[in-house]
Amino acid sequence: AKSKVVCDALILDEDSRTDTYPYISIDENNVDIGHEATVSKIGEEQLFYLMSRGLSEAEAAAMIVSGFVEPITKELPLEYAVEMNRLIQLQMEGSVG
């Protein structure tokens, strides 16, 4: 059996925090297990690029966050993906700047 756990986190501001504690329950003796965790933050270069194209800082940050969660939302049924994106947009309003 083979298992891989991936934990990706995006830090949005100085107050953001992430904890990655993988939990893998194994019921087999012959198994290949992997765990991967990445933590990143919104880059100043990313913000600068998007803002130079006419987006506000909040719009640019929201676009970056939407791109970050897109691999998750594309796996959801459409109605859930729309709702998740809407909730993220609401959360992002006023959180940057």
pLDDT digits (tens, 9 = 90+) for 17-38: 888 777 777 777 888 888 888 8
For the segment 71-76, the average pLDDT, to the nearest whole number, is 92
> What would you report as the CA-atom Rg of the chain, rounded to the nearest whole angstrom?
17
Query: Within 13 Å, how many C-alpha atoms sit on residue 65's CB side?
Result: 21
Decide if pLDDT at 2 tops 50. Answer: yes
Q: State the pTM of this model.
A: 0.73
Q: Cβ distance 24 to 36 under 8 Å?
A: no
**pLDDT for the residue 83:** 93
For the segment 6-23, the average pLDDT, to the nearest whole number, is 84
In whole angstroms, what is the distance from residue 10 CA to residue 42 CA? 7
What is the domain partition of the chain in residue ranges? 1-41, 43-97
Percent of the chain with pLDDT over 90: 37
Q: Cβ distance 96 to 57 under 8 Å?
A: yes
- Range list of H helices, the chain: 44-52, 57-73, 78-92
Q: Which residue has the tokens 């947009």?
A: 89
Decide if pLDDT at 47 tops 90. Answer: yes
Dihedral sign from CA coordinates of 85, 11, 62, 70: negative
